[in-house]
A = this chain, B = another copy of it.
Amino acid sequence: MKVSILGGSGYAGGELLRLLINHPDCKITRVTSQRFAGEPLYRVHPNLRGRTNLRFDDKSLATHNDNDLVFTALPHGKSAGLVPQLLDQGTKIVDLAADFRLKNPEAYPEYYHTKHEHPELLEKAVYGLPEIHREDIRNAKLVAVPGCMATASILGLAPLVKTGIVEKEHIVIDAKIGSSGAGAGPSMGSHHPEREGGVRPYKIVGHRHTPEIEQELGQLNGGNVKVAFTPHAVGMVRGILVTIHAFTRGQVEKKDVWKAYRGEYGNEPFIRMVSDNKGLFGLPNPKNVIGTNLCDIGFETDAHVNRLLVMSAIDNLTKGAAGAAVQCYNVMAGLDERTGLDTIGLHP
């Protein structure tokens, strides 16, 4: 397929480029950036030096009509206005922003402080988590790539919520996220002297990934699920670990939890159960999935307080953004889902 990328100068856009340049069934025709128009890609993404001669482009949207599919990696709120025109010209869209993740239009003013421009499209968009919506993605025209912390949270919880192993109340999700999660633009929160060497809770109540998590989990058990979600900014660059503290009615057997995960994820190409608790690497740690599209999941039962503890680790830019986008692309293109995504991570 021929594809273009709208908004290629951010970290998610750069990660898309990293993955697509080596992708055997994808040809990038154009990468846009208003700010860096005319510059070679490597001026912004040093890893691409010597790997592509493309330059950033700021040509108008109309020029994208020679593409089969457009990836939009624009800031939240910027893609909603472009999508109708792209759909009209028969271009498929994989949107990495939040504009089409939520089904409920009223959630946008509440969580994004803005009215949605095209609420009629929300139902047409497919939530881009192949582990849950693979069939819908296959035929989708418009895919909304999930929020990074939402992905880790939903994948960790889905089999437990679906099977009803955990109570729906008191689901605590405590997330730890690296600095690349805040984007490529300098800010005080990601200023090295302030970020390094600390753990900073932020947006501790009402974070935007909350409604995504609740929407997806709610669909799985046919009801209402609420989560207590709080993220923390830590001093790593890439990576998310979500620690999920859920509770069970009475004691649960580990084999039943294994059964729930295996039933749901037994054939998933990007989910690894990392749950033997042996040695330094027996539980999920985002360090072990950096640069890959993997989601590592581990769990433990805690009879002391009837807790079911789940840890879920991803690279926020890969499985949490651009890798998920490419995985959806592969599904939409009828390719093996691993195409272009089979990198082995680094150790150490």
Contact = CB atoms under 8 A, between A and B. Distances in A.
B18 A344 contact: yes
Contacts of A301: 205
Interface string A254-282: 00000000000000000010100111110
A180 B201 contact: no
A222 interface: no
Interface stretch (A27-35, A39-47, A130-138): A39-47
Interface stretch (A115-123, A139-147, A191-199): A191-199
Interface in A193-214: 193-202, 204-206, 210
A176 interface: yes
A145 to B, nearest CB: 19
A209 to B, nearest CB: 13
Interface string A295-313: 0001011101101010101
Contacts of A14: 347
Interface stretch (A76-84, A87-95, A100-108, A228-236): A228-236
Contacts of A304: 205-206, 210, 226, 228
Contacts of A55: none
Contacts of A75: none
Nearest to A50: B272
Contacts of A198: 236, 239, 285-288
B184 A186 contact: no
Contact of A18 (B46, B193, B239, B346): B346
Given A243-B174, A245-B230, A47 B347 contact: yes
A85 interface: no
Copies of this chain held together in the complex? 4
B230 A46 contact: no
Contact of A179 (B46, B178, B196, B278): B196
Interface in A163-190: 169-170, 172, 174, 176, 178-180, 184, 186-190
Contacts of A298: 201
A74 interface: no
Nearest to A45: B347
A51 interface: yes
A223 interface: no
Given A199-B234, A274-B49, A348-B11, A280 B188 contact: yes
B232 A281 contact: no
B190 A193 contact: yes
Given A191-B192, A200-B285, A291-B346, A279 B230 contact: no
B305 A199 contact: no
Top 9 nearest A-B pairs (CB, nearest first) are A198-B287, A46-B281, A186-B186, A193-B348, A179-B192, A47-B345, A174-B174, A46-B288, A192-B195
Given A14-B347, A210-B304, A228-B304, 17 more contacts: A42-B281, A44-B279, A45-B347, A46-B347, A47-B292, A47-B347, A172-B172, A184-B193, A184-B348, A191-B191, A194-B280, A196-B196, A198-B286, A199-B313, A205-B301, A205-B307, A206-B304
